[in-house]
Structure 1
Amino acid sequence: MTVPQMEVTSEVSTAPGAPEQGQKEIAGKSPLRIAFERLRRDWVAMISLLVVLFFVVIAIFAPLIARLLGVSLDTPLASERINLINQLPLEGPPFGGFDPEHPFGVAPRSGQDNLAVWLYGARTSMVIATTAAVLSTVTGVVVGLLAGYLGGVVDRVLMFVTDVFLTIPFLLAALALSPILSDRFGTNPELLGEVKFYSVIGILTVFGWMTMARLIRGEVLSIREREFVQAARVIGVPTSVILRKEILPNLVAPIVVAFSLALPAYVAAEAGLSYLGIGVTDRPSWGQTVAGAVQWFESYPQYLWQPVIGIVLLVIALNLLGDSIRDALDPKTRR
């Protein structure tokens, strides 16, 4: 009698939870990586980023770009470029065609190259807006962290100061403070331009940190009650370490979004202050060009459109990029 042989099958045992053959292994992704992938798929964000990078390159390399294009801020003899009767350019717009030596034309009355002024004006706007945005963001984050985490008397005092600053009209305060700062610190005529430049940054910073502070305070009030913060308190971690290593990393998303949305506001504010005559005076500015070009709009409209288009493009690109960053960092969005 023969014993039937059992059929032996070779099976590969897999550990529990391991992916089966033919299935792709699922890799975890960090929230930051997910946000970058969303941004990369968002064509509006990519176009806006390219526009912003274009202006950043101009701001950094304005002197080099001006030299490559053969333009400069040197003030020429007005009679060489300007009709002394109507004060308008002899060549190029508004009555002539494209002038390769001065692609954007020249300014009426002074004959200064418009392209050089536009390039250096973009640099001024970007430097002022970025510096003011960074300073106001740092101030707002510090105030919001302290008010939200410490609470009690500290919270009430800091929020009272914040509310007081929010009640002050920005434009009226800027109109009042700028002459005072110029008279106080600009006694030396050679330093008056620098004083006005830093005065604009200071005014934008002093009246721009409150929104960030209230935003961060609200986020901290929620985060400080979570388990990892309570555990750090129990084991005796210093308050400064808790704020720096436990709470602040969880505020990166709202800080980035608020910063990206604050930049266009500062660009527009700087142009507005320069237009009103309380902005920078020792260097080209888009606001200064707009203020000087208004009276020439009927006879020389291109002179006004050049800085206006630059301001509009930069502000729209920054706003759209900020909205895209906010959507990319929002875990509830499906974009």
Structure 2
Amino acid sequence: MTAPIETTGAAAEAQPEAVLAGAKQSQIQGRSLGRIAWNRFKRDKVAVAGGIVVILLILMAVLAKPIESIFGLDPNEFHQDLIDPALLSPRGSWGGISLHHPLGVDPQFGRDVLTRIIEGSWVSLLVAGGATMLSVVIGVVFGVVAGFYGGWVDTIISRAMDTFLAFPLLLFAISISASLQDGAFGLTGLPLRIAVLIFVIGFFNWPYMARIVRAQTLSLREREFVEAARSLGARGPFILFRELLPNLVAPILVYATLLIPTNILFEAGLSFLGVGIAPPQASWGGMLTSAAGLYETDPMYMIVPGLAIFITVLAFNLLGDGLRDALDPRSK
């Protein structure tokens, strides 16, 4: 019978079992993928700032009508007494900025610019959000089907994507919007214009999302968890919606946040050309149209809606870049 081996000093401290036995259970905690992504995102101060601005913009758009009702604001209320008829510009300096009109008034009718910016926010975000949702739904469905099944299914969907990408979208949007101004599908006025913009922008932008989803699906369908599902008898629809789609959430979310500012710019461009949101409904692109010939007498009327578009697009782009870095498993 051998004597027990004595351990002293550094040798005793080096035993990992003793260290683990003495450690508290609360000190050893696992982190989910969502927690890891959130910690990465919080470290990116620029992306956090962009996310805060996006949240404020969404709140302003959602609460636009209640804010106008509570404070008695009317985006189409004329204040001709604030316009200098000789100079055709607001009285005072900096576009008529005052305590009652913090961003001034427009040089044509004296309407409050801040109220029109708030009113135009829900139009821009509604059109951009609806078009993005439509693009994401169509693009994800066709992209995941093309990437998973391959063969002739992939060929047909890929050629359809090439066809849609070849469309002159701007000219097509102008022609469709101009031809449906009077009424269609039981809609007239502002609801019709918003529905047409959402359909045109969203329906013809889905190939961009479909290409990204298809490329990710081609990579994921060869992974071990897909083979394991097949070996257990899972069929195509189950694998698509229960195995592949959860792993595609990150790229879909990132590209959707980057697609929204593109759609905001597209809607503003159509309104600027006169085939988007029609006056007297306030829109940021329409305000730029009104300011086009008045920038010499009242440059503030062009700067304010331009800054609104710039800040919104920049905030969404910063948020999208931050989400892309946070959700990338290869980032540190």
Given the two structures, how large is their TM-score scaled by the length of structure 1? Answer: 0.88
CA distance in 2, matches of 1:17, 1:218: 49
* One-letter identity of the residue aligned with 1:72: D
- Per the TM alignment, residue 181 of structure 1 is displaced from its structure 2 partner at its CA by 3.2
- Per the TM alignment, residue 20 of structure 1 is displaced from its structure 2 partner at its CA by 4.9
Deviations 1:64-94 (A, max 9, x none): 3334555322433x54333333332345643
Say whether the 8 Å CA contact 2:88–2:297 is kept in structure 1.
no
- Per the TM alignment, residue 27 of structure 1 is displaced from its structure 2 partner at its CA by 2.4
- Per the TM alignment, residue 213 of structure 1 is displaced from its structure 2 partner at its CA by 0.3
Equivalent residue in structure 1 for 2:48, among 22, 46, 67? 46
CA distance in 2, matches of 1:17, 1:278: 75
* One-letter identity of the residue aligned with 1:264: P
* One-letter identity of the residue aligned with 1:154: V
- Is the partner of 1:109 in helix, strand or coil? coil
Aligned to 1:29: 31
- Per the TM alignment, residue 111 of structure 1 is displaced from its structure 2 partner at its CA by 1.9
CA distance in 1, matches of 2:177, 2:105: 30
Provide structure 2 residue ranges, at least 5 long, that are not aligned to the other structure.
none
Aligned to 2:290: 292
Aligned to 2:214: 217
Aligned to 2:310: 312
CA distance in 2, matches of 1:316, 1:139: 26
- Per the TM alignment, residue 269 of structure 1 is displaced from its structure 2 partner at its CA by 1.1
State percent identity of aligned pairs: 37
Say whether the 8 Å CA contact 2:146–2:157 is kept in structure 1.
yes
Q: 1:276 to 1:328 in 2, by over 3 A?
A: same
Aligned to 2:87: 86
Aligned to 1:241: 238
CA distance in 2, matches of 1:167, 1:74: 40
CA distance in 1, matches of 2:239, 2:49: 39
Aligned to 2:331: 333
- Per the TM alignment, residue 234 of structure 1 is displaced from its structure 2 partner at its CA by 3.0
Q: 1:152 to 1:230 in 2, by over 3 A?
A: same
Deviations 1:143-166 (A, max 9, x none): 001111111111111110001111
- Is the partner of 1:263 in helix, strand or coil? helix
Query: What pairs with 1:157-172 in structure 2 (closer than 5 Å)?
Result: 157-172=156-171
Provide structure 1 residue ranges, at least 5 long, that are not aligned to the other structure.
1-5
Say whether the 8 Å CA contact 2:87–2:297 is kept in structure 1.
no
- Per the TM alignment, residue 16 of structure 1 is displaced from its structure 2 partner at its CA by 5.6
- Is the partner of 2:292 in helix, strand or coil? helix
* One-letter identity of the residue aligned with 1:43: K
- Is the partner of 2:106 in helix, strand or coil? coil
- Per the TM alignment, residue 107 of structure 1 is displaced from its structure 2 partner at its CA by 1.3
Deviations 1:42-74 (A, max 9, x none): 111111111111111110111233345553224
Aligned to 1:119: 118
Say whether the 8 Å CA contact 1:106–1:112 is kept in structure 2.
yes
- Is the partner of 2:216 in helix, strand or coil? helix
Aligned length: 323
Q: 1:112 to 1:184 in 2, by over 3 A?
A: closer
- Is the partner of 1:296 in helix, strand or coil? coil
* RMSD of Structure 2 on Structure 1 (CA): 2.8
* One-letter identity of the residue aligned with 2:216: E
CA distance in 2, matches of 1:18, 1:216: 47
Aligned to 1:137: 136
Q: 1:229 to 1:22 in 2, by over 3 A?
A: closer
- Per the TM alignment, residue 239 of structure 1 is displaced from its structure 2 partner at its CA by 1.9
Deviations 1:104-146 (A, max 9, x none): 2221222221111110111111111111111111110000011
CA distance in 2, matches of 1:18, 1:238: 48
Aligned to 1:178: 177
Q: 1:184 to 1:105 in 2, by over 3 A?
A: closer
Q: Does 2:261 correspond to 1:260?
A: no
* One-letter identity of the residue aligned with 2:33: P
Query: What pairs with 1:266-277 in structure 2 (closer than 5 Å)?
Result: 266-277=263-274
CA distance in 1, matches of 2:205, 2:27: 48
CA distance in 1, matches of 2:80, 2:61: 31
